[in-house]
Chains A and B, each alone.
Chain A
């Protein structure tokens, strides 16, 4: 068995809204190994995004523990979390979250800037990842000049540029049409086959079936957790 990359123990997230407390995640125990491709599913409001944000170190749990690559991160300070996000995690968002005024190349370089990588190496590495997602000829374009699919591929390149241990994607195809969604999923699948650990959140069954394992959430708890049987067929 490969190394454990994610381990959560009774992970909880509560939001206090006035007198009311929303228990978005109510105690999730989950272990994910290196090299896995996991799809998190569940109805709207079941806590998928909340869980992903904690896994991605964007948010801190109200209670419970979270180890990333053997390190207990649920107690880290804000700056340490920023470092973990920079070094160990690549995050792909539903809404791309690219800087609209910067070129694709600069967008992909951003994580390397915060990692303190020098200009020349930075450009080389960003270019390589853009080539990997098939956008070598769009490097100097800005996001508004690109299609949704292209933007999401820039976002994938950006998420990969720091060679993260973990690639997270929260509904990466949520804003894309079915053909473009499929392109992205092929991409992710190829990455996983090359050894990249990936966790994605999705609503769509056929997207989830591209992954090897599905984790279903309901009301902030794991409802089902199983391996895809159809996983060997290519999409």
Chain B
């Protein structure tokens, strides 16, 4: 009964000073909003990393030219990957690996009167099962066509749309121009979605030999070689096998520095996601600082409020309020201020996450646990920073308080 009354009194005090209450809680609002969006971003990033690794293949290793270094400059022309490396990996791994080379570059595409600019990927048919590319129409190209440097193309899901919106089925057998070279469309893939920097739906797949000698003008150098195992558990073993075969191919002694590097999907993503993490860290520190500043703001205003209301406290004590009831009254006030700020902050954080998703295209997930934690945290801030002012109020001597002008 009494508790309820005291809570009413506290809420009344907040209502009596609406503007001040709003300004006071601003720090908490911003802090909680930042916490919510940080967590939403984090959860979103986590989910999208997992999703992207899934799309990039959980069992695929990527071999690239250059040293085993992070984001560094490779030694350029001196190190090369060639189709014979890919063949060696395929033929000497005793069935452990399925292998696909990649040579790629963006090229101008034309079909009838439509033009488009797409990534051309020269590879082997083994590439399709490796990345779970399913057909929506037509067929993949085959080994014979690779051997014969045939001008056949398999289009990514979005390509028909870019080429005038012709249906996938109608495009099969049609001729498109890739850098002026005519290609027969033999297949169109199903939708795949994007993973990190890779947009397979916009890509056009052609035999690697055709790409090297008919489109890119005799370019032997591969961008990368992909090697997949049957299951993710075999990746460690595959790592060793690839290293051994590649060293032999490149005549590098065991122990000496390799001129290629082998990475799995999550390694590749880690570098890609570094910027995201920096941003999250920034937001997290904003959250921390504004919660702290917000808490100090609350304490400050509560101290002012206690001083302003010294007489009121005196009256209440004279009429029988105990230390505890006064302490409780002021604690509830700062608690309520912070919790209200927290609720508004959750809303604002929700909005911010929504904006990030919509305009920055970052994946965000609002976890109920995060909302709960943020609210609990703001209530905690209210309690922590409310204690000092409330104690000061509770300790006031009734006579002194009543005399206060």
Interface residues, chain A, CB within 8 Å of chain B?
53, 56, 58-59, 78-79, 82-83, 85-87, 91, 93, 97-99, 101, 110-111, 113-116, 118, 158, 162
Interface contact B317-A113, CB-CB below 8 Å: no
8 cross-chain pairs, A with B, having the tightest CB-CB distances, nearest first: A86-B320, A114-B320, A82-B322, A111-B319, A79-B322, A113-B5, A97-B315, A59-B399
Alpha-carbon distance between A153 and B372 when the two chains are bound, in angstroms: 50
Task: Using A82-B320, A101-B12, A111-B319 as known contacts, list a sample of 12 further A-B pairs with CB atoms less than 8 Å apart, ordered by residue number in A.
Answer: A56-B318, A58-B398, A85-B319, A86-B319, A97-B311, A97-B318, A99-B315, A110-B315, A113-B5, A114-B321, A114-B325, A118-B1
CB-CB under 8 A from B316, the residues of chain A are 110, 114
Q: Which residue of B lies closest to A110 (CB)?
A: B319
Alpha-carbon distance between A79 and B325 when the two chains are bound, in angstroms: 10
CB-CB under 8 A from B19, the residues of chain A are none
Q: Confirm or deny: B323 has a beta carbon within 8 angstroms of a beta carbon on chain A.
A: yes
Chief secondary structure at chain B's binding surface: helix
- A113-B2, A116-B1 known; A158 vs B322 contact (CB < 8 Å): no
Q: Confirm or deny: B125 has a beta carbon within 8 angstroms of a beta carbon on chain A.
A: no
B interface, size bucket: 20 to 34
CB contact list, B69-120 vs A, under 8 A: none
Alpha-carbon distance between A58 and B325 when the two chains are bound, in angstroms: 17
Q: Confirm or deny: B16 has a beta carbon within 8 angstroms of a beta carbon on chain A.
A: yes
CB contact list, B266-292 vs A, under 8 A: none
- A58-B399, A93-B402 known; A85 vs B318 contact (CB < 8 Å): yes
CB-CB under 8 A from B399, the residues of chain A are 53, 58-59
CB-CB under 8 A from B5, the residues of chain A are 113
Residue among A53, A97, A115 with the highest chain B CB neighbour number at 10 A: A97
How close is B397's CB to chain A, nearest CB, in angstroms?
A: 8
Q: Which residue of A lies closest to B321 (CB)?
A: A114
Interface contact A83-B320, CB-CB below 8 Å: yes
Alpha-carbon distance between A59 and B16 when the two chains are bound, in angstroms: 31
How close is A73's CB to chain B, nearest CB, in angstroms?
A: 14
Alpha-carbon distance between A97 and B16 when the two chains are bound, in angstroms: 19
Alpha-carbon distance between A110 and B311 when the two chains are bound, in angstroms: 15
- A58-B398, A101-B16, A158-B319 known; A114 vs B2 contact (CB < 8 Å): yes
CB-CB under 8 A from A53, the residues of chain B are 399
Alpha-carbon distance between A98 and B312 when the two chains are bound, in angstroms: 8
- A113-B2, A114-B2, A116-B2 known; A97 vs B320 contact (CB < 8 Å): no
Can you list 30 A-B pairs, Cβ within 8 angstroms, ordered by A? Answer: A53-B399, A58-B318, A58-B398, A59-B399, A79-B324, A82-B320, A82-B321, A82-B323, A83-B320, A83-B322, A85-B318, A86-B319, A91-B318, A93-B402, A97-B315, A97-B318, A97-B402, A99-B312, A99-B315, A101-B12, A110-B316, A111-B319, A111-B320, A113-B2, A113-B5, A114-B2, A114-B316, A114-B320, A114-B322, A114-B325
CB-CB under 8 A from B324, the residues of chain A are 79
Q: Confirm or deny: B44 has a beta carbon within 8 angstroms of a beta carbon on chain A.
A: no
Q: Confirm or deny: B314 has a beta carbon within 8 angstroms of a beta carbon on chain A.
A: yes
Alpha-carbon distance between A87 and B319 when the two chains are bound, in angstroms: 9
Alpha-carbon distance between A85 and B16 when the two chains are bound, in angstroms: 28
Alpha-carbon distance between A97 and B312 when the two chains are bound, in angstroms: 8
CB-CB under 8 A from A56, the residues of chain B are 318
CB-CB under 8 A from A98, the residues of chain B are 315
How close is B395's CB to chain A, nearest CB, in angstroms?
A: 10
Alpha-carbon distance between A116 and B321 when the two chains are bound, in angstroms: 11
